[in-house]
Structure 1
Amino acid sequence: MTRRIVRTGVQLGLLTFIVFFLVFFLDNRYRVLPQSIHNHLPLHHEGLVITDITVQTCSTLNPLSSCKLDQDKWHQVDKDLYLGTGWFSKAFVHIKRKREEELTDEDRVIIDVRTGKLDPAMGEKSQAAEKWESRPAGIWLKRSAKRSASDSKKVVTAVDVLFGADAVEPRPGWELIKPGALRLEASGENKEPRLSIRRGRPQKIEKPVPRIRKDGKFKIMQISDLHLSTGPGVCRDPEPKGANGGQCDADPRTLEFVERLLTEEKPDFVVLSGDQVNGETAPDVQSAMFKITGLLAEHKLPYAAIFGNHDDEGALSRLAQMSLYDSLPYSLSEAGPNTIEGVGNYHVEILAHGANKHSALTLYFLDTHSYSPDKNKFDGYDWIKPNQIAWFKTTVENLKDAHKRYTHTHLDMAFIHIPLPEYVINEEQEKEIVGTLREGVTAPRFNSKFKDALVEEGIKAVSCGHDHANDYCHVAKNAKSGDAELWMCYAGGSGFGGYGGYEGYHRGLRVFEIDTNQARITTWKRLEYGDTTKRLDEQIIVDSGRVVPPQSKQIRQAK
């Protein structure tokens, strides 16, 4: 009998260990927040109002513990408030909601939300009819029993969670709840979850129509490899080394640099050319990408985004992220046709000045994917696929008749993330580059000949990101005639959340200025540290609609 009891006890102990392993270790190691990949947006439905908010915490050690509330009454915002870092806990925000027409006289709707330790009424001068109600995690609600409140602009109609003390809310009609983060038990790394609410009905997003300025010019700022994180992030290889006592928060420094250049350069359009988000350090991708999109919205700048190899290494797929971009003000980003490979194959037309409906400049964007699908044969990075190239050529050909109606010379450019194989240059070609080659070109080992398609379709320049420390432009020449036929440029890496570490390398970005009167494209670089006030390596790459060879260093310096 004693042996049987001992054996039973051992079996129960082993079973408990297995359950603990499966629930805790595997859940935290492989946590993906499964619904968030495809259903990343919180439960926003027109015509619904929020009647209550709470936070439910559960234990990863107890198989019977659940973070789910009664699903007939409560809806879970699918973001773990600990972002998978809770040692033994998870926590989720839950909301009660009803359709406006279903509200009864007994229902109470939320008209205000605060967070904090103390009752917000302590700081209010007047005594409102509605009292503040306490909820877990330091949430305070003000609810109205008046039926008419459901029609008020004050009523809360959607709830989301963003993370980080530097969180930004760029969506129209939304606001981050003050004064700060939800109050959670100290368990794991604190990612500072913050409530964001929307009042009233969803606001319609009007897409901007970019146009050439009255002076005939149009300036594009290419920002690449921001590597933004959830929270402020940690600087990698900052320059100068050891400055500020070694303290360097990556995202604030990156965004301060970008905002300074937005103010100084005053671009008309921004291209985000991949790795906006560092998937490894951004467990909540939405919070990370909102930082740059919020900054661009603040400056009222239209922009287009493509993806790099790190953007979707977190919890959100490319398609989910592109859906977010599409919902934001000033974004012209598109997923592109679902019949070809990749997400983000599209084009943007820049119209002529005034009420003119003719395109003066077309920008093409293509998804260069991530890592090689055949590492045994072609190790390294993926390549642009044949059906993408076919789509690109068909699109260009279909637009040519319309472009001929423009009274000036129509120009075309392309933007990608991973460089093409033709970016790799030999020692002789290196003498003609404009800029600096500091690291090896990490282009795909397989050449799908997209460069040839660009030349055949008359594209004048293509620009990429990916290799942070390379910031040069190189002209491809015709093998027979030796004539310049395509400029291939690097943007240079902008973000301190991405690698640096190459001697003399400073974070930077690239600017293109199009002069439609001269059919000219000029480009230069700007740096975060070092020569911060100068246009570096300024170079005319297209003149009178033709690709021009590199100018001598003496000419560039004279400019």
Structure 2
Amino acid sequence: MTRRIVRTGIQLGVLLTICLTAVFFLDNHYRVLPQSIHSHLPLHHEGLVITDITVQTCSSINPLSVCKLDQDKWHRIEKDLYLNTGWLSKAYVHIKRKREEELTDDDKVILDIRTGKLDPATGEKAQQAEKWESRPAGIWLKRSAKRHASDSKKVVSSVDVLFGADAVEPRPGWEIAKPNPLLLETGGEVKEARLTFRRGAPHKVERPTPRIRADGKFKIIQISDLHLSTGLGLCREPEPKGHNGGRCDADPRTLEFVERVLDDEKPDMVVLSGDQVNGETARDAQTALFKIAHVLIERKIPYAAIFGNHDDEGSLSRAAMMSLLQSLPYSLSEPGPNTIEGVGNYFVEIAAHGASKHSALTLYFLDTHSYSPDERQFKGYDWIKPKQIDWFKDTSNSLKDSHKLYSHIHMDMAFIHIPLPEYAIPGQETVGTWKEGVTAPGFNTHFRDALVQQGIKAVSCGHDHANDYCALSKNEKSGEGELWMCYAGGSGFGGYGGYDGYHRRVRVFEVDTNRAQIRTWKRLEFGDLQKKLDEQVIVESGKVFSGQGES
């Protein structure tokens, strides 16, 4: 009997491994399993309301201890409140929910949520009709029978969990339960679990059409390598050394810098060019990603994102993060076709000013993946695949006829995370700082040539934090400039910056459609805060332009 049980257990284990492998393969290559993609995200079924909330704690060392309640009654939010770091305990938020039309006279709905030690009614001036009800981990619920149809806008309809003292909630209609995190022995601000909730039906998500301004200009700020964490984060090699008495919380300092530049430059769009999330320290990637999204949404700035090699080293896959970005206001991000490699191969059309429907500028975004799939032969990082290049060429060709209808010179740019091998060619004309080796792929699929062939005048990447130069790639035979290849420079204190005197920075591109010109410069986190560093014209009259004149 014992042998049969063991054999059956082994068979089940093998079957489970096969199933998980299949889920992993589909999620990373075809992205057709929405349930697996959203396994870490709350389920927001329209028409459902939350009737109760509780926290279930169990042992993390006892295999028989299960943190699940009756699944016919309770739905578990799949985030361990200890972020899988508890030596002895695990804990999960569970919710009861029902469709509004199925509520009975005995059911109660949640009108408000608070978190803390004391009854929120303590000190209230007026006697409330509904009492606050206590739940584990310091959760307080105000519940009532649903009386009118108008109550639908007031009742809690979705619940989630974020982490850290600096957690923010950018989703419209959502709020973080106040005033305290959940009362758990988590040991430190990083693992402070904060209940967040939405009332009523999902709110409309704003997705504006980016458009050239009345003066004919369009400004893009490229922010790369934010390396945001769950919690405040620890600074790596901040400059200048000893600034602020030696105290440096990575994420607050990074975001303060980004916010200042956004408010000064007032961009029309932001490009997040990878490593928004620092995988090692982003135990809840959703919390980390929400920080930069909140900054942009608050300012109503459209933004588009691609991923770097660290983004999916946290708790979410690329597909899950892209799905999350798509659900947020002002996001122009797209996963792209599921028939080619990567998540985030797409383009954004910038419309001409006024009511014109014509495109004045096209921005291409491609996923440069992560680490080399053949480390023995090609060490380091992955490369853009032939299918991606074919997609780019086909897409560009398909847009050319419509672009000819624009009354001015139509222009195109591209953004990637990992630099192309051509960034490392010595002797190129460069403007800016080259302080570290170019960590490009060891295998070259010649995407640079495809960019030139399709008329792209500038491509910009991230990845190497202490490089911020633009290099002019020239035709080998004629010597004429064909493509500017730029770096954004690292912006985040959660990522390395260990090159003496190197301050965090972002890159600005200003497109002037009246002159068919692209001008670029950088802004620093420290020093001369108003200075435009290494300002240069890279495109003039729709043609690549060098410091010595038109190329």
Same fold (TM over 0.5): yes
The separation in 2 between residues aligned to 1:499 and 1:150, in whole angstroms, is 52
Does structure 1 conserve the Cα–Cα contact (< 8 Å) formed by 2:165 and 2:189? no
- Residue 298 of structure 2 aligns to which amino acid in structure 1? E
SS of the residue corresponding to residue 260 of structure 1 reads helix
* Identical aligned residues as a percent: 77
Q: How does 1:10-409 map to 2 (within 5 A)?
A: 38-148=38-148, 151-186=151-186, 191-409=191-409
Does structure 1 conserve the Cα–Cα contact (< 8 Å) formed by 2:349 and 2:362? yes
2:483 is matched with 486
Does structure 1 conserve the Cα–Cα contact (< 8 Å) formed by 2:170 and 2:293? yes
- Residue 319 of structure 1 aligns to which amino acid in structure 2? A
SS of the residue corresponding to residue 472 of structure 2 reads strand
SS of the residue corresponding to residue 220 of structure 2 reads strand
Q: 1:126 to 1:152 in 2, by over 3 A?
A: farther
After superposition, the C-alpha distances for 1:413-449 in whole angstroms (9 at most, x for unaligned) are 00000000000031x32xx310010000000010000
- Residue 522 of structure 1 aligns to which amino acid in structure 2? R
Does structure 2 conserve the Cα–Cα contact (< 8 Å) formed by 1:49 and 1:150? no
The Cα shift of 1:148 comes to 2.4
1:513 aligns with 2:510: yes
The Cα shift of 1:110 comes to 0.3
SS of the residue corresponding to residue 120 of structure 1 reads coil
- Structure 2 residue runs of 5 or longer lacking an equivalent are 1-23, 28-34
The Cα shift of 1:184 comes to 0.6
Matched residue count: 520
SS of the residue corresponding to residue 290 of structure 2 reads helix
Q: How does 1:444-463 map to 2 (within 5 A)?
A: 444-463=441-460
- Residue 267 of structure 2 aligns to which amino acid in structure 1? P
SS of the residue corresponding to residue 380 of structure 2 reads coil
For the pair shown, the structure with the greater C-alpha radius of gyration is 1
- Residue 268 of structure 1 aligns to which amino acid in structure 2? D
The separation in 2 between residues aligned to 1:495 and 1:362, in whole angstroms, is 27
User: TM-score when scaled to structure 2?
Assistant: 0.92
Does structure 2 conserve the Cα–Cα contact (< 8 Å) formed by 1:86 and 1:189? no
Does structure 2 conserve the Cα–Cα contact (< 8 Å) formed by 1:88 and 1:187? no
2:463 is matched with 466
The Cα shift of 1:203 comes to 1.2
Does structure 2 conserve the Cα–Cα contact (< 8 Å) formed by 1:51 and 1:97? yes
The separation in 1 between residues aligned to 2:276 and 2:186, in whole angstroms, is 30
Does structure 2 conserve the Cα–Cα contact (< 8 Å) formed by 1:475 and 1:550? no
The separation in 2 between residues aligned to 1:188 and 1:82, in whole angstroms, is 11
Which of 529, 533, 536 aligns to 1:536? It is: 533
The Cα shift of 1:551 comes to 4.3
Does structure 1 conserve the Cα–Cα contact (< 8 Å) formed by 2:335 and 2:343? yes
SS of the residue corresponding to residue 71 of structure 2 reads coil
User: TM-score when scaled to structure 1?
Assistant: 0.91
- Structure 1 residue runs of 5 or longer lacking an equivalent are 1-32, 553-559
Does structure 2 conserve the Cα–Cα contact (< 8 Å) formed by 1:522 and 1:539? yes
- Residue 200 of structure 2 aligns to which amino acid in structure 1? G
The separation in 2 between residues aligned to 1:545 and 1:87, in whole angstroms, is 61
Q: 1:163 to 1:150 in 2, by over 3 A?
A: farther
The separation in 2 between residues aligned to 1:118 and 1:133, in whole angstroms, is 11
After superposition, the C-alpha distances for 1:324-351 in whole angstroms (9 at most, x for unaligned) are 0000000000000000000000000000
Does structure 2 conserve the Cα–Cα contact (< 8 Å) formed by 1:467 and 1:493? yes
Does structure 2 conserve the Cα–Cα contact (< 8 Å) formed by 1:224 and 1:272? yes
Which of 473, 477, 481 aligns to 1:476? It is: 473
Does structure 1 conserve the Cα–Cα contact (< 8 Å) formed by 2:186 and 2:192? no
The Cα shift of 1:237 comes to 0.2
Does structure 2 conserve the Cα–Cα contact (< 8 Å) formed by 1:87 and 1:188? no
The Cα shift of 1:247 comes to 1.1
SS of the residue corresponding to residue 293 of structure 1 reads helix
Which of 516, 520, 523 aligns to 2:520? It is: 523
- Residue 473 of structure 2 aligns to which amino acid in structure 1? A
SS of the residue corresponding to residue 143 of structure 1 reads strand
The separation in 1 between residues aligned to 2:229 and 2:271, in whole angstroms, is 19
- Residue 494 of structure 2 aligns to which amino acid in structure 1? G
1:11 is matched with none
After superposition, the C-alpha distances for 1:458-480 in whole angstroms (9 at most, x for unaligned) are 00000000000000001111111
The separation in 2 between residues aligned to 1:150 and 1:103, in whole angstroms, is 15
1:549 aligns with 2:525: no
SS of the residue corresponding to residue 152 of structure 1 reads helix
Does structure 2 conserve the Cα–Cα contact (< 8 Å) formed by 1:103 and 1:147? no
The separation in 1 between residues aligned to 2:113 and 2:97, in whole angstroms, is 15
The separation in 2 between residues aligned to 1:265 and 1:357, in whole angstroms, is 26
1:30 is matched with none
1:16 is matched with none
SS of the residue corresponding to residue 121 of structure 1 reads coil
Could you tell which deviates more after superposition, 59-68 or 340-349? 59-68
After superposition, the C-alpha distances for 1:480-522 in whole angstroms (9 at most, x for unaligned) are 1111110000000000000011122110000000000000000
Does structure 2 conserve the Cα–Cα contact (< 8 Å) formed by 1:372 and 1:383? yes
